[in-house]
Amino acid sequence: MSRFVILVDLFGLLLAATGFCMAFRQNFVKRLIGRPPHPRVTLNGHGDDQDPLTYVLRISGVMVMVFGIVIGGMVTMFNLA
Protein backbone atom coordinates (compact mmCIF):
# COMPACT_ATOMS: atom_id res chain seq x y z
CA MET A 1 0.00 0.00 0.00
CA SER A 2 1.10 3.52 -0.67
CA ARG A 3 1.90 6.09 1.96
CA PHE A 4 -1.23 8.01 1.07
CA VAL A 5 -3.47 5.08 1.92
CA ILE A 6 -1.70 4.48 5.21
CA LEU A 7 -2.03 8.15 6.15
CA VAL A 8 -5.73 8.19 5.30
CA ASP A 9 -6.25 4.96 7.27
CA LEU A 10 -4.49 6.46 10.28
CA PHE A 11 -6.62 9.59 9.98
CA GLY A 12 -9.75 7.43 9.75
CA LEU A 13 -8.65 5.49 12.81
CA LEU A 14 -8.08 8.75 14.69
CA LEU A 15 -11.56 9.95 13.71
CA ALA A 16 -13.11 6.64 14.74
CA ALA A 17 -11.39 6.75 18.14
CA THR A 18 -12.39 10.37 18.68
CA GLY A 19 -15.98 9.66 17.74
CA PHE A 20 -16.08 6.63 20.03
CA CYS A 21 -14.88 8.73 22.94
CA MET A 22 -17.44 11.43 22.14
CA ALA A 23 -20.31 8.96 21.97
CA PHE A 24 -19.49 6.44 24.68
CA ARG A 25 -16.86 8.01 26.98
CA GLN A 26 -18.63 11.27 27.66
CA ASN A 27 -17.20 11.93 31.11
CA PHE A 28 -13.70 12.07 29.60
CA VAL A 29 -14.80 14.44 26.83
CA LYS A 30 -16.75 16.65 29.23
CA ARG A 31 -13.66 17.00 31.42
CA LEU A 32 -11.63 18.01 28.34
CA ILE A 33 -14.04 20.80 27.46
CA GLY A 34 -14.41 21.97 31.07
CA ARG A 35 -17.88 20.68 31.93
CA PRO A 36 -18.73 18.70 35.08
CA PRO A 37 -18.25 15.02 34.20
CA HIS A 38 -20.57 13.45 36.75
CA PRO A 39 -24.32 13.28 36.27
CA ARG A 40 -26.24 16.02 37.94
CA VAL A 41 -29.46 15.11 39.70
CA THR A 42 -32.13 17.78 39.29
CA LEU A 43 -35.12 18.44 41.49
CA ASN A 44 -37.36 16.11 39.47
CA GLY A 45 -34.94 13.22 39.95
CA HIS A 46 -33.61 13.06 36.40
CA GLY A 47 -29.90 12.72 35.89
CA ASP A 48 -27.56 13.75 33.11
CA ASP A 49 -30.00 12.71 30.38
CA GLN A 50 -31.58 16.15 30.60
CA ASP A 51 -28.26 17.80 29.65
CA PRO A 52 -28.34 18.79 25.95
CA LEU A 53 -24.58 18.24 25.71
CA THR A 54 -25.16 14.52 26.28
CA TYR A 55 -27.28 14.24 23.15
CA VAL A 56 -24.96 16.44 21.10
CA LEU A 57 -21.98 14.26 22.04
CA ARG A 58 -23.88 11.04 21.27
CA ILE A 59 -25.08 12.11 17.84
CA SER A 60 -21.94 13.87 16.68
CA GLY A 61 -19.70 11.16 18.12
CA VAL A 62 -21.43 8.42 16.17
CA MET A 63 -21.32 10.54 13.01
CA VAL A 64 -17.58 11.21 13.37
CA MET A 65 -16.87 7.55 14.19
CA VAL A 66 -18.77 6.26 11.16
CA PHE A 67 -17.17 8.85 8.88
CA GLY A 68 -13.70 7.77 10.00
CA ILE A 69 -14.48 4.10 9.40
CA VAL A 70 -16.05 4.77 6.00
CA ILE A 71 -13.34 7.08 4.68
CA GLY A 72 -10.56 4.71 5.72
CA GLY A 73 -12.37 1.66 4.39
CA MET A 74 -13.26 3.23 1.05
CA VAL A 75 -9.74 4.48 0.34
CA THR A 76 -8.29 1.09 1.26
CA MET A 77 -10.80 -0.82 -0.87
CA PHE A 78 -10.29 1.42 -3.90
CA ASN A 79 -6.53 1.00 -3.56
CA LEU A 80 -6.79 -2.79 -3.31
CA ALA A 81 -9.18 -3.07 -6.29
Radius of gyration of the chain (CA): 17
Overall domain count for the chain? 1
Q: Please give the share of the chain, as a percent, with pLDDT higher than 70.
A: 83
**Distance separating alpha carbons of residues 9 and 5, to the nearest angstrom:** 6
Note down the domain range covering 45.
3-80
What is the pLDDT of the chain when averaged over all its residues? 86
How many other C-beta atoms can be found within 10 angstroms of the C-beta atom of residue 48? 17
Q: Which of 2, 13, 18, 3 is nearest to 62 (CA)?
A: 18
pLDDT band at 38 (very low <50, low <70, confident <90, very high): low
Question: Which residue blocks in the chain are alpha helix, DSSP H?
Answer: 3-24, 26-32, 52-80
Does residue 42 carry a pLDDT above 90? Answer: no
Tell me, what's the pLDDT at 39? 63
Residues 6+ apart with CB under 8 A from 4: 75
